[in-house]
């Protein structure tokens, strides 16, 4: 069973619908005990980093989720669910993240470009992953965000986009993948990542 985590941050229905294109074994859960019966976890989300972490802790997800990922379970993070994997964020003051990936979430610098970064942008693949099979380099994906990660290491960076600066927008290692963009809103290229993930989980 693929479990989409409901922790009160954003509309998760579009994420669920994307995964249901490739499997009917999808459930939405706000109960951390569902991890025990899950073959994969999906962490979506929109909104503020600090509130998201507070919700994960309050609902009892934070520690079981960290252990699940550290133990090598299949995991897919989307947008805010991508940022939460990092050590900390400066959004509305400094807040600790899950600390799965060493790095800090920071706001785009003030320049001629509008913030939030919203719309379609090409992604340069900088690493390899089975979850990216079949995708051509410089594929386009849909973004909406005001913050991006500064990573301590590039070892887990699989893709970068450019918006005034180059920033990591795909991270992955082992059975983990996470994207700053919304794959469920990115038409065929985004859905290819979802499909690749489901095939791996269900194989």
Residue tagged active-site, from 145, 160, 182, 195: 182
Phi-psi region of 35 (alpha: psi -120 to 50; beta: other; left: phi over 0): alpha
Q: Which two tokens stand for residue 92?
A: 């509305």
Known active-site residue 182 = yes
98 near 66, Cβ under 8 Å? yes
| Spatial distance between the Cα atoms of 2 and 24, rounded to a whole number of angstroms | 9
Q: Which two tokens stand for residue 8?
A: 């009160």
Rg (CA), the chain: 16
Residue tagged active-site, from 91, 160, 184, 195: 184
- Greatest CA separation found in the chain? 48
Residue tagged active-site, from 79, 156, 169, 189: 79
Known active-site residue 94 = no
Known active-site residue 63 = no
Catalytic residues: 79, 182, 184
């Amino acid at each position: 069973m693929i479990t989409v985590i409901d922790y009160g941050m954003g509309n998760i229905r579009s994420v669920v619908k994307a995964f249901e294109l490739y499997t009917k074994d999808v459930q939405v859960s706000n109960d951390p005990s569902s991890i025990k019966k899950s073959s994969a976890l999906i962490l979506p989300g929109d909104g503020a980093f600090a509130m998201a972490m507070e919700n994960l802790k309050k609902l009892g997800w934070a520690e079981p989720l960290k252990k699940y990922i550290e133990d090598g379970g299949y995991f897919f993070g989307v947008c805010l669910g991508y940022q939460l994997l990092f050590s900390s964020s400066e959004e509305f003051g400094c807040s600790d993240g899950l600390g799965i990936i060493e790095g800090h979430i920071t706001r785009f610098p003030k320049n001629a470009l509008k913030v939030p970064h919203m719309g379609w942008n090409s992604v340069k693949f900088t690493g390899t992953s089975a979850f990216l099979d079949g995708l051509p380099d410089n594929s386009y994906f849909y973004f909406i965000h005001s913050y991006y990660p500064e990573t301590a290491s590039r070892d887990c960076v699989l893709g970068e986009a450019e918006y005034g600066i180059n920033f990591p927008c795909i991270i992955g290692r082992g059975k983990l993948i996470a994207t700053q963009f919304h794959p469920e809103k990115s038409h065929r290229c985004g859905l290819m990542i979802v499909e690749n993930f489901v095939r791996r989980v269900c194989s």
